[in-house]
Amino acid sequence: MSSKKKHDISSFPFLFLRLPFIAILLTIVGFCFIPVDSFSQIIDHIVALVDEQVITLTDLKIVEAFGLYEDELEAESDRRLFRLLERMINQKIVITATREDLSIEEKEIEAELQKLTEKLGPREFQTRLNEFGLGLEDLKAYLKEKILYQHILTQRFGQGAPVSLKEIENHYQQIYIPSQEKKGLRPLPMMEILGEIESAIKQEKIKKQKTDWINNLKKQAEIEIRLVDSDEI
């Protein structure tokens, strides 16, 4: 009669020692096969809340990669993401606060899209879309908001501001002449550059009016900034 050999738990000492190691190994192997998109979701986070509207780090990286506000920011400005964030916050505050019924025509968005494609080149444009997993409609949403913001400001401040002769004379004496002398150039007579000076003063006035208005809107809004210096990397 054959006898069956009994096995108790003590006969598998190394199996139980191996189990934690096997579990860790499987976890590591599984982690290696996580899709790349999952990493984007892990590192992405909210960088600001504007009246419960969310701005993410990816939003900032997208507007930076496509240069949506390049013409409004200094090329070599420090803390670039913070400046882009401030621009996006201003945009959301103005659109939310005014609630003006302005329609954006599709051809305006298409024109902006064409400018971006020409600036970056078709291949680079498509590469950047792929990097963020964007379709054209996704990018158009950013462009539409930008155009709407610009329309609101133009409608509100498009008339410009009156400029007095005294202001022109002060600008000529205090700004224009010193700047020309610093360059080693002979200042032109005031009457020859009257229109240029008037235009410069108007632009400065409009810029100040816009800044003051937006800053006042900010005081009435709920803004929480979560962007940190390490996000600049």
- What does the pLDDT look like over 153-188, one tens digit per residue? 998 898 778 899 999 999 999 999 999 999 999 999
d(CA 214, CA 193) in angstroms, rounded, equals 32
128-144 burial, b at 16+ Cβ within 10 Å, e below that, comes to bbeeeebeeeebbebbe
End-to-end CA distance of the chain: 76
Separation of alpha carbons 82 and 231, rounded Å = 9
Instruction: Kindly list the domain boundaries of the chain, sorted by start residue.
Output: 36-160+213-232
| The length of the chain, given as a count of residues | 233
Tens-place pLDDT, residues 122-153: 999 999 999 999 999 999 999 999 999 999 99
Cβ atoms of residues 53 and 92 within 8 Å: yes
Q: Which two tokens stand for residue 47?
A: 């960088």
SS3 of residue 54 by DSSP? strand
- CATH code assigned to 36-160+213-232: 1.10.4030.10
Q: What is the pTM of this model?
A: 0.74
